[in-house]
Amino acid sequence: MARIDMAILIALSGFLHSPDASSGPPHILSGYRDLADSAGNQRSNEHAGVDFGATLGDPVLAAADGVVMVTYAENQWWCANGIRLWHEDFNRFTHYCYLSDVKVREYDRVTRGQVMASVGTWRGPSGVPKKISIVHFDVSDYSRLRLEGGLDGSFDPIPLFIGCFDSAKTYPTNRFVLTYPLACREDG
């Protein structure tokens, strides 16, 4: 799908919300292939994932069933405290960055909607003066960590999202679909 068509699809689907929206999907601060980071600064390369705005300490949820392949405990700007999941039935990987209080370990099996960590903070390589609470999320077809600008094997996760996790709902098992890595915002 052409980039402009995807932008229209996202806007019409309600994926982008104003920061003061009180309900709906998590707020996207920086999308796939964006050249602006979550603080609005220019990136040197295209973004390989999606950054969701969050509140420090919010639970980070598994977007699909999988196996924890690695956890990153290093405090590095490109993935401070991260988790990489392997979704073996589809040979895809999801990656979550800027976490705190990681609750899973390598080789743990996780289920969609399971709390894996809490939202931490991000301070970009440009030395953003204020830390921002976000979750970086990306999807790829290989397991190695990709630095900013490396789009090989990456996918735009937006078309794969089918909404917020709901424990009462049954999810497709014949195709790779994701729920948001954060709970949806509720009214009030």
Q: How does the average pLDDT of the chain come out, rounded?
A: 79
User: What was the pLDDT predicted at 144?
Assistant: 64
Q: Is 21 part of a structural domain of the chain?
A: no
Q: Is 2 part of a structural domain of the chain?
A: no
Q: Which of 25-29, 147-151, 168-172 has the highest mean pLDDT?
A: 168-172
State phi, psi for 118 to the nearest 5 degrees: -120, 160
| CATH number where 82 lies | 2.70.70.10
124 vs 162 pLDDT, higher one: 162
Q: Is 173 part of a structural domain of the chain?
A: no
Q: Is 10 part of a structural domain of the chain?
A: no
Q: Is the sign of the CA dihedral 30, 132, 16, 94 positive or negative?
A: positive
In the predicted model, is pLDDT for residue 4 greater than 60? no
User: For 158, which DSSP code?
Assistant: G
- Tokens 């289920």 -> residue: 111
The closest alpha carbon to 143, from 107, 92, 98, belongs to 92
Within the chain, how many helices (H) and strands (E) appear? 1, 11
For the segment 7-31, the average pLDDT, to the nearest whole number, is 54
Query: Is there a contact between 157 and 50 (Cβ–Cβ < 8 Å)?
Result: yes
Domain containing residue 154: 29-160
The closest alpha carbon to 72, from 12, 147, 7, 16, belongs to 147
29 vs 111 pLDDT, higher one: 111
- What are the tens digits of pLDDT across the range 72-104? 776 555 677 899 999 999 999 999 988 999 999
Q: Is 119 part of a structural domain of the chain?
A: yes
Q: Is 134 part of a structural domain of the chain?
A: yes
Q: Is 168 part of a structural domain of the chain?
A: no
Q: Is 73 part of a structural domain of the chain?
A: yes
User: What was the pLDDT predicted at 25?
Assistant: 87
Strand ranges (E), the chain: 28-30, 50-53, 59-61, 66-72, 82-87, 92-97, 99-100, 109-110, 115-119, 134-140, 154-155
Q: Residue 49: which pLDDT band, with cuts at 50, 70 and 90?
A: confident
Instruction: Tell me how many domains the chain contains.
Output: 1
Q: Which amino acid is at 43?
A: R
Query: Is there a contact between 25 and 184 (Cβ–Cβ < 8 Å)?
Result: yes
The closest alpha carbon to 121, from 53, 43, 176, 19, belongs to 53
Please give the model's pTM, rounded to 2 decimal places: 0.80
How far apart (Å, rounded) are the C-alpha atoms in residues 41 and 52?
16
User: What was the pLDDT predicted at 75?
Assistant: 56
User: What was the pLDDT predicted at 130?
Assistant: 61
